[in-house]
Structure 1
Amino acid sequence: MRTIVLVRHGKSSWEYDVTDRERPLKIRGKHDAKLVVNQFIKQNKTPKHIFSSPAKRALSTCKIFAKSLNFPEKSIEIVEDLYDFGGESVINFVKNLSDEYDEIMIFGHNHAFTSISNIFGSIFIDNLPTSGLVKINFDTNNWADIKQGQTELILIPKELK
């Protein structure tokens, strides 16, 4: 079995004159990420492999999760292909993962994560909001072979408040 946990970055700020990659999280984004990870911890084990988009808002969200999960920050793998808004690069990344990884957690962006959740998950999501999390299980031993899986968990910050 293979499991993927998709986490969309927290709410970001547009008040700074920075590039898209450098946009930071808003205070709300940090708070929502903490709400989601605290709920995730109650029901799940810490993944052994965490990957993040290089964008500041995604990596900052990832670091909030890593701290709460007691996952070493130095073990986070930053992957350029996760700075993707359509989903094709993320899917290619996942399908090319080593089969030694059973469960992974990925931090990235919309519209990619909503699309991937709907392509591979069993529950339709209209929009995965910022700091939203989706966990999908696949009945296969090879990442290259993932197809339709079973959505096990969806965490939406607004529903946790």
Structure 2
Amino acid sequence: MKTIVLIRHAKSSWDHDVSDLNRPLSKRGFTDANLVSKAFKSYGFSPDAIYSSPANRAITTCSIFMENLNFSKDLLTIDHKIYDFGGNQVRRFLKSLNEGLQKVVIFGHNHAFTSLVNSFGDLDIDNLPTSGLVMIDFNVNHWQDIGQGETKLYLKPKDFK
């Protein structure tokens, strides 16, 4: 059994004259990431590894989740392949994960994550919102074999406001 948790970065701020990679979170982004991460804590999920896009907004969202869930910083790897908006790079990344890993969390971007949620999971969504979280289980032993899985959890900020 393999499990992925896809988390779209929290709402970013457009109030700063910075590159896309350096865009920070907005106040709402901090609030929403805290809401979803604290709700996710009740599920007792324990990942084997955590991956994030190098984008500031993704790393900051990841940090909020890791702190609220008491995840060890040793689990985190920043990977440029996750800075993907279409989904093919992230799909290849997932299929190449170390076989010793069973449960992974990935922080990244749309439209890649909505596309992956819809192609991997059995729940069809129009748009994974910022700070949205989806957990998908795959009844396979090898990451290269992940395909159609079962959506086990879908959390979004508006569920907790």
| TM-score interval (norm. to shorter) | over 0.9
How large is the RMSD of aligned CA atoms in angstroms? 0.8
Partner of 1:86: 86
Q: Secondary structure at the match of 1:15?
A: coil
Match in the other structure for 1:158: 158
In structure 1, the residue matched to 2:101 is 101
In structure 2, C-alpha distance between the alignment counterparts of 1:137 and 1:64, rounded to whole Å: 24
Aligned to 2:146: 146
| Partner SS, residue 104 of structure 1 | strand
Q: Which residue of the partner structure matches residue 42 of structure 1?
A: 42
Distance in 2 of aligned mates of 1:91 and 1:108: 12
Aligned residue in 1 for 2:57: 57
Moved over 3 A (4+): none
Aligned length: 161
Q: Which residue of 2 aligns with 1:70?
A: 70
- The two structures have a TM-score, normalised by structure 2, of 0.98
Q: Is the 2:3–2:103 Cα contact (8 Å) retained in structure 1? A: yes
Match of 1:34, SS state, is helix
SS at match of 1:43: coil
Alignment-mate amino acid for residue 64 of structure 1: I
User: CA shift at 1:73, angstroms?
Assistant: 2.5
Of stretches 139-148 and 68-77 in structure 1, the one that deviates more from structure 2 is: 68-77
Between 1:35-44 and 1:87-96, the stretch displaced more is 35-44
Q: 5+ unaligned residues in a row in structure 2: which ranges?
A: none
The more displaced of 143-152 and 36-45 is: 36-45
What is the CA-CA distance between 1:74 and the residue it aligns to? 4.4
Secondary structure at the residue paired with 2:51?
Answer: strand
CA distance in 2, matches of 1:30, 1:65: 10
Give the whole-Å Cα distance in 1 for the aligned partners of 2:67 and 2:110: 23
SS at structure 1 position matched to 2:42: helix
Using the TM superposition, give the Cα deviation of residue 47 of structure 1 relative to its aligned residue in structure 2, in angstroms: 1.1
Quote the residue 2:136 is aligned against.
136
Decide which moves more: 68-77 or 94-103: 68-77
